[in-house]
Chain A
Amino acid sequence: MADEEDDNGFDEELDDGTSGVDVGHGKRKRLFSKELRCMMYGFGDDQNPYTESVDILEDLVIEFITEMTHKAMSIGRQGRVQVEDIVFLIRKDPRKFARVKDLLTMNEELKRARKAFDEANYGS
């Protein structure tokens, strides 16, 4: 397919030594290649996923993050991204909402545990 040939062309150019500067949308240096491969295997794909699929997924994830950031900047405090804004944007999606709540709760618990541990050490 023509799309895949274009992807290969970009990859070859990168191999020749063009820098990671954002020249165009597709020519950006791959930020998450290694992590996305592990993630795709974890979610059910083959142990060696196709590079083109990983590229498509990375573009989708970056677009998702960009959209969320822009939306978060436009609500709440303008021009800033805050956790409350993200939680508000995600409220309709049960999976993501539950995941964010879990992550933030765990983070608080870990911070408290670390603080208690440090104080215990300081005392003794």
Chain B
Amino acid sequence: MADPARIKVGDSSERTNSAAEQQNPKPSEADPAKTPHHQSSHHQSTGENKDASSSQDQSKQDEAKSESAAGEDEEEGTSGQPDSKRLKVEPEKKKEKRHKVDEDEIQKMQVLVSSFSEEQLNRYEMYRRSAFPKAAIKRLIQSITGSSVSQNVVIAMSGISKVFAGEIVEEALDVCEKWGETPPLQPKHMREAVRRLKSRDQIPNTKHKNILFH
């Protein structure tokens, strides 16, 4: 499972056991330029190539690997094998890669969390543990649909709502900082944050219908 905080650990000596030198600075999850599928497949292919090539060529340890270079590596790495073998080996390699990527991320997160101050630990704990009550969300959705909903729907909806609340609070903190003020957040920050998110189409609004031909 991917963690939201991604830290690039520059010191490669910390990870002597893991063969893959994951040097790619991962783009943030909220990168609107890429859809998540493309993002993950890109990482898997670049990680896989690094694994294949790092065992042979230690000198290839670039901090920032551009995606065009990754494309070239992929062709070099898999051109030697026959097609049928390549098809069988690649999905296994990808699963292994994903596992290693998760392990690396978990390690990085552990290093990060171990260096938190007490206040940061409190905040992190609140961040992870706070959640919307499932009963209230279920009641709300059922009052709108009029029929019952499955548990997965409630899980998905409460998860998305938490991300939504986080987006608003983060934008509001940006606004607050930009205006030269300090937390706690005031309603004017929240409203300006909502206005900005609306202009980016991140807040769904079906109240206004554009009538094209009139």
Contact = CB atoms under 8 A, between A and B. Distances in A.
8 contacts: A40-B169, A44-B169, A50-B184, A53-B189, A57-B169, A86-B156, A98-B36, A100-B159
Contact of A49 (B123, B129, B185): B185
A121 B12 CA distance: 44
Interface in B194-214: 194, 202-206
Interface in A60-76: 60-62, 64-71, 73
Contacts of B116: none
A107 B132 CA distance: 16
A42 B46 CA distance: 34
Interface stretch (A8-16, A29-37, A112-120): A29-37
Q: What's the dominant secondary structure at chain A's contact region?
A: helix
Q: What's the dominant secondary structure at chain B's contact region?
A: helix
A41 B173 CA distance: 12
B155 A53 contact: no
Interface of A: 1, 3-4, 31-32, 35-36, 38-46, 48-50, 52-53, 56-57, 60-62, 64-71, 73, 79-83, 86-87, 90-107
Interface in B106-141: 123-133, 136-137, 140-141
A123 to B, nearest CB: 27
A3 B168 CA distance: 19
Nearest to B197: A60
B7 interface: no
A65 B145 contact: no
A104 B2 contact: no
Given A61-B132, A64-B161, 10 more contacts: A49-B184, A60-B164, A67-B206, A69-B141, A83-B153, A86-B156, A93-B202, A99-B160, A103-B155, A107-B152
Nearest to B183: A46
Nearest to B137: A65
Contacts of B150: 82-83
A95 B187 contact: no
B25 to A, nearest CB: 17
A62 B163 CA distance: 13
B169 A79 contact: no
Contact of A32 (B136, B172, B186): B136
